[in-house]
Each structure stands twice: as structure tokens, then as C-alpha cells.
Chain A
Amino acid sequence: MTTSPRYVGIDLGTTNSAAAVFDGDTVTLVRNAQGGTLTPSIVRIDGRGNLLVGSRARRYLESDPDNTRLEFKRLMGTSQEVEFPASGQRRTPEALSAEILKSLRADIQEQFGFVPDYAVISVPALFELPQSAATSEAARLAGFRRVELLQEPIASALAAGWSADEAIGSWLVYDLGGGTFDVSLLETRDGLLRVVGHDGDNFLGGKDFDWAIVEWALGELKAREGIELSRANPAHAGAIRKLKLAAEEAKIELSRASSTVLAVPALVQKDDGPFDLDLELTRATLERLCQPAIERTLTVCRRLLETHGLAPGQLSHVVMVGGPSVMPAVRKLVGEGLACALADRLDPMTLVAQGAAIYAATAGLEARTQEIAVSEGQKVWLQYPAMSSDLTPHVVGRLVETGRSAPSQIRMVRADGLWESPWAPVDDEGAFVITTSLIARRPNVFKIEGRRDDGAHVHLAPSTLTIVQGLTISDPPLSRTIGVALANDQVRVYFERGAPLPTRRTFTLMTVEGVAKGSRESLLKIPIVQGEHDEAHLCRLVGTLEIAGEAVKESLPSGSEIEMTLELDRGGRLSARALIPAIDQVFEDVAQLLVPEADPEVLAASIDAARERIASLRADAFRRSARPQLDRLSSLDASLGDLEADIAAARGGDADAAQKARRALLELDAHLEELELDRKWPEIDEDARDSLIWATSWVAEYGLPHEQRLMSETAKSLEKARKDRDPVELQRQLRLISRLGNTASLRHPEAWTRRFEHAASQVGNASDIVKAQALVKEGREAAAREDQGALRSITQKLWQLLPSDVEKRRLSYDSGVR
């Protein structure tokens, strides 16, 4: 009898981590030494260098916060190291995550008696490549030989779908974690699960509820006791931290009880000794405090449904995941807001881990890699889905040796004896295909039999195989589009969102400028970006391949071809390779596969800029009384508050907050650009109309016949561009129009006098004022003489001294390719 398979799934959470093992039939949660299924993602290193993980580390959170670290998942993919001052040690976020994974691995060994080599680890849906790569690295550090990454919502969905009865239709997974909110729209059809769409808010979670309670408590304190504490005051940081921990405890307590006390002994030192906080907090109050945040999650859900043409009532159910989703307030508001039932009987805290384990089965990632003894017989290679939603999947096989002793026909018999396949012929490649029949939602064991032409039975090895029937998802899809930023700020898309992993693709790019051999200044950058925007600068830079003058074998002329290949595996590891055929040289080192550092000062400056942009956009929208724009702007404005809090925290050294702010700012930027184009359009349009009128009148008066014809054609194209709202095309036509107008206007007898006067009025801006003034003087004399020729040459000289209007922004991460 063969032992049943073991598949391992791990949820490496920001606050809590969990692991599960699936054997093809049932999912078993892994218990830690304390008997719990949740291991807090907390690591402590004490003064003697001893390392504690999980709830044992958690105990020191209050007494020794400096050496007890949490939420390092948010730093994954940055170069930020976490310090443990007592022992003077520093650890990378991946090393800390590796400690959590090691602890889970040890728990698995304890409970199941084997050490897993392969596993599936879940990551947030919005993880960027560097963060995914860091997660894979953590797994490697923890001793795993191979891991695949799976997005958390897909894991929850798979687990939910696995245990549901034949559900069909669309449903939601609502995952509210400690600091992030994710929502996914799923569809089950024919036993196959499909992720239809995804949305979320990276800055929304249980933490926000805690802070809401803290703010409330501070207000009460001030009103009742006259004690003033502030989050912004560094001297109060200790008291605030204690208060926040108490708030979280109270919040969790209120998921069961209807009222509790918020108690912090010796919160502050008053004149008459230590002050003990003791406040009653009821469920109703909590509900009131949390309502705004919950409303925000519902807005996101509705947005997601709307983009996919669904109304809330059309959902079959909602699956709730994450700690805060246990809260009665959340459950009530979500149920009402989306007008549908919440799935019960699912454990919101461990669903992700369970799903990861089930996925491991789909991907055929058996956790134990040691060979199981092969039985005697004719060897055969078999290919079949370890897990299948199809009730009649194919099994494909090939005999390792063909010859006289080899079977000529093969069949399969299900272990329950109720089904057997017809005898399938073995073809000249030694191959055969058999269509099986599965019992739903069960592991199905089959015996494989062979027989020769003479009717003799042949024993095959292996002689059995198992296929689990159930809901599957076959490939983890890519969560965000990946491409190469081009010099014109466009993106050459390599892998679109939703593309199955692993994947690989090659495109031919061209260098914009040459690379001179041996030159230190000459450096060609090929930026790799991730994101859904068409403009490269709005996407995130996730890596850069550099071709340096010092490294090329021969100088590269501009316009040289580069065959650029990107490859992405299921562990989120991206590799890039640039082949330059002209010099037959390959470049492979991707520089900086890291989330870029975020400097608080830079962030603060960009926030100020964003605020100004919002203010000016809002003033404008107000004038035009444009409702939708105003709504969008006020929600953007609201997000600035959080951003500022994060930047304040970043100034205090909280790198996580800095990262959060950086990402939020990029997103904000994208919104603002969109709104700005929206706003600018009437202006551009107006300009276009003015230029058209101006030029038409000149051309009508002084234009040559062919110019007049061209003018009327151009006017038509301009109208089309205005109608299509195509700014690029509009600019093009405008250039031509103003050229035509200029040419015609120059035929006016006083043309150069006017131009000269205009140039002279701007002398203050000239690059060489003295020279410019001399020219103006000269020009006045020429004008007095009515010498148009001299006036013209003087005006042109003057123009050269005035600032040029050509302004180029190198937005696109300095890309050197197109």
C-alpha cells in the first residue's frame, strides 16, 4: 500500500502565520508547541542573542518592544534591516520571515513526522516582484528546497470552494487583515474556479480600528480627566503604545462579549501618582467607531462589482477572511451592504493556509521528496493531474522500454471495482492515453494493468495512481502586468496581468543612443516595470538591466537591436537576459530588484505638491461644478491625512510606513494625472480653437492657394482630433497650423516690427541681458529706418537669447531603449 501524499501550505501573514497539510482528502491544520493554529509573526532577540518566535516572543511586546519585532512582512523586498539593540544584531526582513517559516516547519515535523521540502506559500495579491522574490528567499533560508507562491485571495477562494457544495455563480472573498484589505470576485463554473477580478486597499485593516479606539480613549481622557496625550508627541509614545495594545485586546474581546473595559494600569504619571486607565467600551460604541473604515471596504467592493457589470444582489455568497472579519459589526455591515449571505463554517484565520495546501496538490508539489521504493515490473512514465475538477480526465503514459516483453495494451481499474477502462492500445512510441472516470470530491485510486498480444499479463511499475476530484485552479496568474519601460514613456508589455506562470517572452528592442566602449559615462538602462498604467513613469520600477560602456566588447551604435528576454517563475523570481546580436554579447545581471528606498523628506515634498495639485484641481472643478471630479478629489484629499501620519511615522524611523507612503503616492499621482488631463482638455481645446481662428484669418488674407487648401484640410483633421479627444494628434495639427499662420503673417508688411516688439518686451528673461538690450537698441533704430531686413535678423538674434520653450522630462526611469 502506498502512503497517501502530503501537501503543505503556509500563510505567512503580517500579524499571524499558519500552516496546513492536505492529504488529498482532508486538510489538517498544523498546531504549534502552544497548541494553537496561529503563530504570531513576531521575532525577539534578547541581549544574549537568544531567539524567540511566535507567542513566546509576543509576551515581550509590551515590556521590551525594541527587541521584539513584528510586521516585518511589510518590509519584504526592501534593503531595510531590522535592529535588535540589546544584542546589537540586525536582520533582514527575509531572515526574520525565515525564522517564522522554520518554526512552522518544525511544528509540521513534530505533528506529522516529516520535514517538508516543498511547499506553497501565500502572498498578498498586490505584492510586487521584489517582495515575492524576498518571500522565496525567506523560504530558501528556512530550508525549503522549492516553493511556489500563491496569492492569498486565490488560496482563500480555493479553500472555500473546496468545502462548499457544488456552488455555481459569482462570489466574493472579503479579506480584511491587520493592515491590508483585499477583495476578489470569483466565478465557479463546471468545477473550475476563475478569478474574475481583484481590488483592495493597501492601507486599511484591523489596525485602523485599534487607532479609532485609541483616539476615542484619548478624547474621553481629556474630557473626563483633563489629561492630554498626543500621538504626535514623542514623549507620549510609550503611553500610546500601551494604549494601542489594550485597544486591540478590547476589540478582540468585543467580538465575543457585548461590553468590556479598556484597562491600562499606570498609563501616565500624574501629579498625584500613576494614573490607571479604566474605560468601559461597548460593542455599540465600537461599531460606531469602526463604521467609517468598514464603509470604505464596502466602497471598494461595490467598485469591483461595478467594473465587472454586477450588482450586489447578484452574488451567491461572500467568504469572510482575516481577523477583523470576525467582528459582528463587520459581518453585519458587509451582509447588509452587499445584500447577500456570508459563508459560515469557514475559519477566517486559517482559510488561506488551507487553500495553499490544496493548491500544492493541484500543482503536484508533494512535500516529501525522498523516493518511495519502486515496485518490480515494466517501468512506465505517467502524466495525470494530481487534482482535477474534470470528472473524466485523461491519463497519458509511456513505456520506458519497448520490446517483446512490453505490453501492447493498457487499462485502468478503479480501486472500488465499480469502473474499468477499455483496453487502450500502446502506439509505436510506447505511448497510450486512457480516459478515466472519477468519483466526485474524493481521492480516486486506480490500478494500472498491462497485457501482451499473447494475452499474458504484464506487471507495471508504478501499478497504482491517485487523482483527487475537486475544485481546481490550474496556474497561479500574474497579479500585475510586467513590461519594459521605453524611452518614450510607453511600456512594452511582456506579461499581462492574469498570464499563467511560469512564463517567458522575448522582444527585440532598439537602443536610442549609442554605447561607447570603455566610456564610464555611457550607460544604457533597460528598466523593468510593473503596473497597469500605459505611461511607464506611473508604473513601479522593479529592476534595471544595465549595459555599461565599460562592459561592452565593442561600441554599440544607436539603433542597435537588443533581444530582451524576461522570465518569471512561480516563486516570483524574475530573470532578464539581453542579447546584443551585433556584438554577440549577453547581459544578464538585473540591478536592484528591490523596492526603492523612500526618503521621508522627499515624500513630504511630494505630498505638498500633491496637495497643491488637488487644491487647484478642486478650485477648478468647483467653478465648473463638476460633481464626479469633486467626489474623486475629496476621496483623494481624505487619503492625504493617512499619508501624512505615515510620513510622520517614517520620520521617526518607521520604514514600513515610508514604504506604504511611497506606494500610496504613486497611486495618487496616477489619479491626479488623469484628472489633470481631464481638466486641461477644455483649455487645450480652447487654445486649438484660438490658433485655428488666428491662422485661418492670416492664411485667408496672405496665404498662397496651396496653403489655403492645406489649411482647410488641416482644420478638418483638427476638428476630428478635438472630437476624439486625442491630445497628441491635436498638437501635431496645431504645429502645422501655427506654421501656416506664421508663414502667412510674415507676408504682412509690418510683420517683423510686431515680432520685434514682442521679443523686446521679454528682454528681462534673456540669457545675456546686456547683449539683448544692445540688440533692442539696434532694432529700434532699424525700425525707425523701416529696414525690414535688418529688423528680421535682429529679431532672430534676439530670439536666440530668450529662453527656449523646449522642456524635456526624462520620466521613463531613464530608459535607453525603444
Chain B
Amino acid sequence: MAATPPPRFAHNPFFVLGAEPDRPRVELEREGQKLLGMLELGLRSAATYATPTGPEARTPEAVRAALAELRAPEKRLLHELWASFARAEADADASASAGADPFRSPAQPSAPKSDDDEGPGIAGAFALFGWRRP
């Protein structure tokens, strides 16, 4: 079966760099260099980045890949489209609590982990038969 599509938001270069989509290239490069330095020094402030689908861990490879993607204008434009959220509104909220995730929707619950669709199961079902749980 064909591959699942790549995570559009989680790896979007603009989110990785924490930069607006309309920033000139020099600034993006500068930002990337700074982040690479901060990661190399193990600074906490650079360790994660916010995306519309939740925070992600930032790695030097991800930053380098993001920079490389943005260097080609045609690739950049595609990423811009995916990153064109109404950031203005989100920013207003975010500035209230500094450092907050600008994409976090007002009440974002954690995604359900189990695939139960009819209420919780019971933990000891296999034990009833004396069997080890797989």
C-alpha cells in the first residue's frame, strides 16, 4: 500500500525555524544559523518548536533540512501555502502568555490513544483464561 503522506505541519520549515512565511531569505538563513548554534550548545529554549498539530522536538538535522527546503523558491512557495495560517489572530492570543504555543486551540484535548469505540475494555481478559497477555 502506498506510503502515508508526510506530516505537513510537523515538519514544515517555517514552523521548524519559528519564522513567518514572508520573511526574506537572508533572515531565514540567519535564524537557522542561530538555532543550529543554540542546539549545539544544548539550550533549552531551542529544543522544541510549535506547530498547529502540537509541539515537536527540534534537531540540527531538521533545521538543516528546513533551510535547504527554503532555498529553492518553488519548494518554499509550497511550504508557504501550508504555513499560511491566520497567524495574526493566533499571535494576539499568544502574546498574552509569553512562550505559549501560538497554534493551540482554546480547548485542545489530547488525542485518544486507544481505539476503543465502545467504552473502555477490561484489563484482565486474558487472565480469566490463565493466559499471558500478548
Residues in chain A within 8 A of chain B (CB atoms)? 189-192, 194, 381, 383-385, 388-390, 392-398, 427, 429, 431, 433, 474-475, 477, 492, 498-500, 502-504, 507
| Inter-chain CB contacts under 8 Å: number | 75
Chain B residues lying within 8 Å of A433, measured Cβ to Cβ, are 34, 38
Q: Is the beta-carbon distance between B41 and A398 smaller than 8 angstroms?
A: yes
Judge whether A194 and B37 touch: CB under 8 Å. Answer: no
Contact digits for B22-53, partner A, Cβ 8 Å, 1 yes 0 no = 00111001100110111011111100000000
- CB atoms of B3 and A492 under 8 A apart: yes
Which residue in A189, A396, A431, A504 is a CB contact (below 8 Å) of B61?
A504
The 8 Å CB contact of B41, one of A383, A502, A503, A507, is A383
3 closest cross-chain pairs (CB), A and B: A383-B37, A396-B37, A394-B34
By a CB distance below 8 angstroms, the chain B residues around A390 are 26, 29-30, 33
The closest CB in chain A to the CB of B2 belongs to: A490
Tell me the bound Cα distance from A392 to B30 in angstroms.
8
Question: Chain B contact residues: over half helix, strand or loop, or mixed?
Answer: helix
Main secondary structure of the interface of A (DSSP, over half): strand
**In the complex, how many angstroms separate the beta carbon of A244 from the nearest chain B beta carbon?**
44
Q: Which residue of A lies closest to B44 (CB)?
A: A429
Residues of chain B at the chain A interface (Cβ within 8 Å):
3, 24-26, 29-30, 33-34, 36-38, 40-45, 61, 64-65, 67-68, 71-72
A134 to B33, CA, bound (A): 32
Residue on A with the closest CB to B25?
A190
Say how far A385's CB is from chain B's closest CB, in angstroms: 5
- Is the beta-carbon distance between B68 and A431 smaller than 8 angstroms? no
Q: Write out the residue numbers on chain A whose beta carbons fall within 8 Å of the beta carbon of B34.
A: 394, 396, 433
6 A–B pairs (Cβ distance < 8 Å), ordered by A:
A383-B41, A398-B41, A431-B43, A433-B38, A477-B68, A498-B68
Would you call A429 and B45 a contact (CB within 8 A)?
yes
Q: Say yes or no: A499-B65 contact (C-beta < 8 A), given A190-B25, A190-B26.
A: yes
Tell whether, in the assembled complex, residue A393 and residue B30 are in contact, meaning their CB atoms are under 8 Å apart. Answer: yes
Cα-based distance from A678 to B21 in the complex (angstroms)? 41
B46 to chain A, nearest CB (A): 9
With known contacts A190-B24, A396-B37, A504-B61, A474–B30 Cβ distance under 8 A: no
CA distance A381 to B41 in the complex (A): 7
Are the CB atoms of B67 and A394 closer together than 8 Å? no
Closest chain A residue to B60, Cβ basis: A502
Task: Across the interface, name the chain A residue whose C-beta is closest to B64.
Answer: A500
B4 vs chain A, min Cβ distance (A): 10
Q: Please, which residue of chain B has its CB at the minimum distance from the CB of A394?
A: B34
Checking A192, A396, A499 against B38 with a beta-carbon cut-off of 8 angstroms, the contacting residue is A396
Known: A396-B34, A396-B43, A503-B61; 10 extra A-B contacts, CB below 8 A, are A192-B71, A389-B29, A390-B30, A393-B33, A394-B34, A398-B43, A427-B45, A474-B67, A477-B68, A499-B68
How long is the Cα–Cα vector from A381 to B29 in the complex, in angstroms?
22
Measured between beta carbons, the chain A residues less than 8 angstroms from B72 are: 194, 498
Question: What separation, in Å, do the CA atoms of A390 and B24 have in the docked complex?
Answer: 12
Q: Bound state CA distance, A477 and B24, in angstroms? A: 22
Interface centre among A189, A194, A394, A507 (most CB of B within 10 A): A394
The distance in angstroms between the C-alpha atoms of A389 and B34, with both chains bound, is 14
Is the CB–CB distance between B68 and A475 below 8 Å? yes
A466 to chain B, nearest CB (A): 16
The answer to whether residues A383 and B36 also contact, given A189-B25, A392-B30, A429-B43 and a CB cut-off of 8 A, is: yes
A462 smallest CB distance to B (angstroms): 15
- Within the complex, what minimum Cβ distance (angstroms) separates A536 from chain B? 15
Residue ID in chain A nearest B38 by CB atoms: A396
| Cβ-defined contact, A397 with B61, below 8 A | no
Decide: B41 and A500 in contact? CB cutoff 8 A.
no
A502 to B68, CA, bound (A): 12
Q: Are B3 and A500 in contact (CB under 8 A)?
A: no
B71 x A394 contact (CB < 8 A) = no
Report the bound CA distance from A395 to B33 in whole Å: 9
A504 to B64, CA, bound (A): 12
When distances are taken between beta carbons in the complex, the residues of chain B under 8 Å from A392 are: 30
CA distance A388 to B30 in the complex (A): 9
